[in-house]
Amino acid sequence: MLSSIWEQLLSWLKSLFFEQEMELAVLGLQNAGKTTLVNLFATGTFTEDRIPTVGFNLRKVRKGGVTLKVWDLGGQQRFRSMWERYCRGVNVIVFVLDAVDKERFSTAKLELLEILQRPSLANIPLLFLANKSDLPGALTDPQEIIQTFDLKSIKDREVAVYSVSAKNRTNIDTVLRWLIMHNKKPVKLNSNEQSNGI
């Protein structure tokens, strides 16, 4: 108990003098809401971004004493070959799914499992976000998402799954806390919060 308090005090003192930074790669098929989510993380407000990301965007977001360096990667087929380059060395790979566009689930699954097989990306945690949960017909049940995308087959890394809505901010604070927890120096979640890990 005393050592835990001491560790928290030490972490707090370090946070006063040292900037903590983590790097994320946000990927997924086009129109999944990646840029909208990144903008929501940065500004705290929802704005619908209808302009597709060409190549990539880089954003820096400060949350909970941590600066998130976020690579927002284009989802069009011609840009998917670049994903690996921007995922190397990041703290977390964030895969965003349009949870309503069921016709493209098989493509999303194929692209996700293919990128995760790259040896250079082994052991990097995966945060799978099924976005647009506010829309009718969206895939929102975490167990169904895990099954549909065969996420239990991923053995070489930690995997967490959340159903989110950028528009309604559903699970956005929980996702941000999960990200901060996966910084090099994790921040403890409150005991009443649960991760939808696999």
**Residues in binding site for GTP:** 28-35, 75, 131-134
Closest CA to 81 of 114, 37, 57, 120: 114
Binding annotation: 28-35, 53, 75, 131-134
C-alpha span between 112 and 129 (Å, rounded): 12
Binding annotation for Mg(2+): 35, 53
Note if 76 is an active site residue: yes
User: What does the block give as tokens for 66?
Assistant: 């941590």
Which residue among the candidates 8, 20, 76, 117 is catalytic per the annotation? Answer: 76
What letters, b where the CB count within 10 A reaches 16 and e where it falls short, cover 4-43? eeeeeeeeeeeeeeeebebbbbbbbbeebbbbbbbbbbee
User: Mind telling me the catalytic residues?
Assistant: 76
